[in-house]
C-alpha cells in the first residue's frame, strides 16, 4: 500500500502511540489531550441475519464500559456445515510443520522485487514490469493445487484473475483482492535495513522484507488458505474470485483498472456479494483490542496551478515573475485550508462513540464528553475544537491539501516564462470533487485580478477576454484525470448489511480460534449458551469490531460497479507499542511476525467457510 502520494489508504495505525493535543480550555476535555490517533467508526446493526451462528457473551472485563446502544457488536460467527474442516485446518495451522511452510511461502514471495513506480509506461513497453513474471512462476510452483484446480485468466499480462467455481451458481460470488507490487526500496536506504529488503529473512519471530506487511502477506495468506482447503478436498458452494493487481502502489491504472473491466465483462454489474481487499487491521487501543474494517475511502484530486508571464533577461526583471506570482497563489491556498467541522454524519464521530462504548481505559472525561455531544451543541463545538487541533483527526474529518510538486525556471539569467505546482487533495467523505474546484477557484481569483492575469479555472475563462492581460493563471486537474469522488459507503446496519455483519462475526471468530483453538472457542460458546451474562466465557479479551475509514484509496476505487459491499480488511495484527505485529510499511525494516501471518491465513479460511454456508445474500 502507498501513502498519500500514491493512491493508497492510510488507516491510522494501531499501536502508533498517543498523539499530543493542545490542552483545550474546557476542563471536561483535559484528558482528551491523550486521544489516540486511530480512525475507526461506529459499528451498528444487530445479529447477522440469515447466517448460522452461535451466541457468545463478552467476558466481564469487556462489559465494563460496554454500551451496545452506542456501538453494537456482532456475535462470533463460526462455520457449522464445515465445522469439522474448520477444526482440522485450525489444528493444522497450529503445527510446527505448517508454520515452517507458511514462512517459506511468504519469504519466497518477498524475494521477488516487484516494485511499481509512478508514471510507468504500459506493460510491454516499460521493462520494469517484467519482474512480475518470475513471481507468478513462483506462485504456480508454491501453490500447485490452487493453480491446477482454479481457473486463471491473466489480465493485461500480469493481472491475476482466479475463479474457484462453486457448486451453486445462484449464490453471488465473493472477491478476495490483493496486490503483487510493492513500494520501491530507495537504494540509499538499503544499508539501514537490519536484513536485506528482499531476503525474506526469518529470525525466529519475524519475517523481514519489503512486502511482508504490504501486501504480500495478504496475497500469500489468501492462497495459503485456499491451498490448505484444497488439500482437504473442500469444494465450495459459493464461487470465490481472486483479483490480484500489480500496480496498486502506482495508482492501479494497468492492474486493478483492467481487472475491473474484465470482471464486469465476465460477471456483470453488481454481480458480487462482497469484496475484501487490504485495509484496516486490529490492535490495542485504550486497553481494548479493536478491529477496523474500512467501509469508505476519501476522494482524491491533484490540482495543477500554472502561471505564465513574459520572459526576458533577468537583469531587467518585472516586479513579479511567474515564480513569484505562483508563490503568492500557493501561500493563499495554504492560508485558506478547507474547514474542519465534525458532525454526526462523519465516520470519525461514530469512531468516538465506539470508543466511549467499549474502550476500557478511555479517560472518563473524554467518555462523558463524547456521549454529551450527541445532544449538546456546546459539547459538540468543544469536541470539534479538539479535533481541529489534532492533525490525524482533522485529516479524517475534512478535505486536506498538500503542496507536493513545484517546477519553474531553466536558468539564473532568464526570466521564467512558466511556473507550476501540484497540490494533492484528499476529499472528505461528505464532500465532492466539485467542492475542491469551487474552493480553489474562489480562493485565488482575486490574485488574477491583482496581477492582471487571464484566469482559467477547470476549462472556464473567468476574466474578461477583451481586456489585455500581463499573463495567465490556470487551475486544472493534474495528469489528465487524477480526480476521484469519495467511495460509496458500505452498509453496516439494516437489512442490507449482511456482508458487513458476516465479516464482523468472522473477525471475532478468527481472533478467538487463533488464541484458543476450536475446542476453546466451542467451550466459550457453550458456556455463553448456558450461563448468565456475568459468567466468564473466555480466557481472552474479546475483540471489538468497528468500521473504519481510509483517508486514501486502494485498488477498490475501480470496483465500485461490482458490488455495494466493499470491505477493506485483512486481519493484520498491528499489536501494540510494546509488541508490534507489523512494522516498516513503506519504509526501512518492513516485517510481519509469523504469528500475525498465521492469523491472516486463519482469517481467510474462516471467512471463506462462513461465506460458503450463508444464503441470505
Helices of type H across 362-470: 364-372, 377-389, 391-397, 433-450
Kindly state whether residue 381 falls inside one of the protein's structural domains.
no
Do residue 555 and residue 541 come from a single domain?
yes
Residue 310 DSSP one-character state: -
**What pLDDT score does 535 carry?**
35
Q: Which three cell numbers stand for residue 349?
A: 464521530
Q: Judging by beta carbons within 10 Å of its beta carbon (0-12, 13-18, 19+), is residue 604 exposed, middle or buried? A: buried
Domain count, the chain: 2
Helix 96-110 / helix 132-142 crossing angle, nearest 10 deg: 160
Range of lowest pLDDT (53-62, 98-107, 600-609): 53-62
595 is catalytic: no
CATH number at 87 reads 3.40.630.10
Distance CA 56, CA 59 (A): 9
pLDDT in tens, 305-329: 999 999 999 999 999 999 999 999 9
**What pLDDT score does 47 carry?**
26
Q: Per-residue DSSP letters for 76-145?
A: P---STTHHHHHHHHHHHTSHHHHHHHHHHHHHHHTS--B--TTPPPTTTSGGGGGHHHHHHHHHHH-HH
Which residues touch 223 (CB under 8 Å, ≥6 apart)? 105, 139, 142, 143, 146, 242
Q: What average pLDDT does the chain have? A: 87
Do residue 578 and residue 455 come from a single domain?
no
The domain boundary residue, chosen from 419, 449, 477: 477
pLDDT of 470 over the 70 cut: yes
**What pLDDT score does 234 carry?**
98
Q: Which three cell numbers stand for residue 505?
A: 462475526
Distance CA 478, CA 406 (A): 12
Q: Is 249 annotated as a binding residue?
A: yes
Do residue 167 and residue 308 come from a single domain?
no
The domain boundary residue, chosen from 477, 499, 519: 477
Do residue 142 and residue 267 come from a single domain?
yes
Q: Which three cell numbers stand for residue 326?
A: 505562483
Q: Is 277 annotated as a binding residue?
A: yes
Assess contact for 391 and 78: CB atoms under 8 A: no
Which residues touch 51 (CB under 8 Å, ≥6 apart)? 77, 498, 501, 502, 505, 610, 613, 614, 616
Assess contact for 541 and 291: CB atoms under 8 A: no
Do residue 471 and residue 599 come from a single domain?
no
Assess contact for 505 and 293: CB atoms under 8 A: no
CATH number at 421 reads 3.30.70.360
pLDDT in tens, 334-383: 999 999 999 999 988 887 888 889 999 988 888 888 899 999 999 999 88
Distance CA 503, CA 513 (A): 15
Q: Which three cell numbers stand for residue 154?
A: 491473466
pTM of the entire predicted model: 0.86
Do residue 520 and residue 444 come from a single domain?
no
Do residue 547 and residue 578 come from a single domain?
yes
pLDDT in tens, 174-212: 999 999 999 999 999 999 999 999 999 999 999 999 999
pLDDT in tens, 417-455: 999 999 999 999 999 999 999 999 999 999 999 999 999
Q: Which three cell numbers stand for residue 229?
A: 482447503
Helix or strand or coil: residue 230?
helix
Do residue 68 and residue 120 come from a single domain?
yes
The domain boundary residue, chosen from 430, 454, 477: 477
**What pLDDT score does 528 carry?**
56
Kindly state whether residue 414 falls inside one of the protein's structural domains.
yes
Which residues touch 263 (CB under 8 Å, ≥6 apart)? 161, 175, 241, 243, 271, 272, 559, 562
Classify residue 561 as left (phi > 0), alpha (psi -120 to 50) or beta: alpha
Q: What are phi and psi of 319, to 5 degrees?
A: -65, -35
**What pLDDT score does 533 carry?**
39
Kindly state whether residue 353 falls inside one of the protein's structural domains.
no
Q: Which residue is catalytic, options 10, 115, 215, 248?
A: 248
Domain of 115, in residue numbers: 4-297+487-612
Residue range 222-244: mean pLDDT, rounded: 98
Q: Which three cell numbers stand for residue 382?
A: 468543544
Q: What are phi and psi of 569, to 5 degrees?
A: -160, 135
278 is catalytic: no
Kindly state whether residue 388 falls inside one of the protein's structural domains.
no
Kindly state whether residue 389 falls inside one of the protein's structural domains.
no
Do residue 211 and residue 314 come from a single domain?
no
pLDDT of 492 over the 80 cut: yes
Do residue 243 and residue 306 come from a single domain?
no
**What pLDDT score does 190 carry?**
97
Q: Which residue is catalytic, options 10, 181, 258, 278?
A: 181
Kindly state whether residue 250 falls inside one of the protein's structural domains.
yes
Do residue 62 and residue 37 come from a single domain?
yes
Q: Is 586 annotated as a binding residue?
A: yes
Do residue 293 and residue 303 come from a single domain?
no
Which residues touch 438 (CB under 8 Å, ≥6 apart)? none
Kindly state whether residue 180 falls inside one of the protein's structural domains.
yes
Q: Which three cell numbers stand for residue 92?
A: 493444522
pLDDT in tens, 8-63: 434 333 233 333 233 333 443 443 433 333 333 322 222 222 333 333 322 222 33
Q: Judging by beta carbons within 10 Å of its beta carbon (0-12, 13-18, 19+), is residue 613 exposed, middle or buried? A: middle
Distance CA 180, CA 259 (A): 13
pLDDT in tens, 377-433: 999 998 898 889 888 889 999 999 999 999 999 999 999 999 999 999 999 999 999
Q: Which three cell numbers stand for residue 567?
A: 470491505
Q: Evaluate the CA torsion angle 410, 416, 420, 421 in order and state its sign.
A: positive
Kindly state whether residue 372 falls inside one of the protein's structural domains.
no
Amino acid at each position: 500500500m502507498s501513502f498519500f502520494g500514491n493512491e493508497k489508504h492510510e488507516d491510522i495505525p494501531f499501536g502508533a502511540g498517543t498523539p499530543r493535543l493542545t490542552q483545550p480550555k474546557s476542563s471536561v476535555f483535559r484528558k482528551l489531550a491523550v486521544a489516540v490517533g486511530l480512525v475507526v467508526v461506529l459499528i451498528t446493526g444487530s445479529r447477522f441475519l440469515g447466517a448460522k451462528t452461535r451466541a457468545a457473551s463478552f467476558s466481564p472485563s469487556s462489559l465494563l464500559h460496554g454500551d451496545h446502544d452506542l456501538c453494537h457488536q456482532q456475535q462470533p460467527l463460526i462455520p457449522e456445515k464445515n465445522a469439522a474442516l474448520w477444526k482440522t485446518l485450525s489444528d493444522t495451522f497450529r503445527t510446527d510443520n505448517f508454520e515452517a511452510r507458511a514462512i517459506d511461502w511468504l519469504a519466497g514471495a518477498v524475494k521477488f522485487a516487484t516494485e511499481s513506480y509512478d508514471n510507468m509506461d504500459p506493460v510491454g513497453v516499460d521493462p520494469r514490469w517484467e519482474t512480475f513474471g518470475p513471481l507468478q512462476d513462483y506462485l504456480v510452483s508454491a501453490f500447485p493445487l490452487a493453480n491446477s484446480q482454479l481457473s486463471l485468466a491473466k489480465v493485461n499480462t500480469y493481472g491475476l484473475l482466479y475463479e474457484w467455481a462453486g457448486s451453486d451458481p445462484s449464490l453471488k460470488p465473493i472477491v478476495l483482492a490483493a496486490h503483487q507490487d510493492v513500494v520501491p526500496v530507495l537504494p540509499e536506504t538499503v544499508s539501514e535495513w537490519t536484513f536485506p529488503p528482499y531476503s525474506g529473512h526469518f529470525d525466529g519471530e519475524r519475517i523481514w522484507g519489503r512486502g511482508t506487511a504490504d501486501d504480500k502477506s495478504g496475497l500469500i495468506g489468501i492462497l495459503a488458505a485456499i491451498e490448505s482447503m484444497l488439500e482437504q478436498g473442500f469444494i465450495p458452494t459459493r464461487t470465490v474470485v481472486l483479483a490480484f493487481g500489480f500496480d496498486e502502489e502506482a495508482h492501479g491504472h494497468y492492474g486493478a483498472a483492467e481487472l475491473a473491466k474484465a470482471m464486469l465483462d465476465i460477471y456483470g454489474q453488481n454481480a458480487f456479494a462482497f469484496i475484501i481487499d487490504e485495509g484496516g487491521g486490529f490492535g490495542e487501543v485504550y486497553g481494548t483490542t479493536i478491529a477496523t474494517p474500512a467501509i469508505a475511502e476519501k476522494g482524491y484530486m491533484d490540482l495543477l496551478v500554472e502561471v505564465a508571464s513574459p520572459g526576458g533577461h533577468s537583469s531587467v526583471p518585472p516586479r513579479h515573475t511567474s515564480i513569484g506570482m505562483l508563490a503568492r497563489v500557493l501561500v493563499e491556498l495554504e492560508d485558506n485550508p478547507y474547514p474542519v467541522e465534525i458532525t454526526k454524519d462523519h465516520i470519525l464521530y461514530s469512531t468516538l462513540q465506539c470508543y466511549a462504548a467499549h474502550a476500557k481505559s478511555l479517560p472518563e472525561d473524554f467518555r462523558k464528553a463524547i456521549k454529551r455531544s450527541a445532544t449538546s451543541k456546546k459539547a459538540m463545538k468543544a469536541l470539534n475544537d479538539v479535533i481541529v487541533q489534532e492533525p490525524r483527526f482533522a485529516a479524517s474529518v475534512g478535505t486536506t491539501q498538500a503542496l507536493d510538486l513545484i517546477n519553474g525556471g531553466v536558468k539564473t539569467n532568464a526570466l521564467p516564462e512558466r511556473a507550476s505546482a501540484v497540490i494533492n487533495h484528499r476529499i472528505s467523505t461528505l464532500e465532492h470533487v466539485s467542492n475542491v474546484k469551487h474552493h480553489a477557484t474562489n480562493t485565488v481569483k482575486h490574485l488574477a485580478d491583482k496581477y492582471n492575469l487571464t484566469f482559467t479555472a477547470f476549462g472556464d475563462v473567468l476574466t474578461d477576454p477583451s481586456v489585455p492581460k500581463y499573463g495567465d493563471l490556470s487551475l486544472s486537474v493534474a495528469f489528465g484525470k487524477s480526480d476521484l469522488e469519495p467511495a460509496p459507503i458500505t452498509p453496516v446496519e439494516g437489512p442490507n448489511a449482511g456482508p458487513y455483519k458476516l465479516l464482523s462475526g468472522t473477525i471475532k471468530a478468527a481472533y478467538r480460534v487463533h488464541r484458543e483453538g476450536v475446542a476453546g472457542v466451542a467451550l466459550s460458546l457453550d458456556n455463553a449458551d448456558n450461563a448468565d451474562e456475568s459468567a466468564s466465557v473466555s480466557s481472552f479479551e474479546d475483540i471489538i469490531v468497528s468500521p473504519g475509514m481510509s483517508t486514501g484509496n486502494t485498488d477498490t476505487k475501480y470496483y465500485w460497479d461490482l458490488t455495494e459491499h466493499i470491505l477493506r480488511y485483512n486481519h493484520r495484527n498491528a499489536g501494540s507499542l510494546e509488541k508490534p505485529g507489523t512494522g516498516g510499511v513503506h519504509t526501512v525494516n518492513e516485517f510481519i511476525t509469523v504469528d500475525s501471518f498465521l492469523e491472516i491465513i486463519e482469517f481467510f479460511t474462516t471467512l471463506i467457510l462462513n461465506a460458503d454456508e450463508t444464503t441470505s445474500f
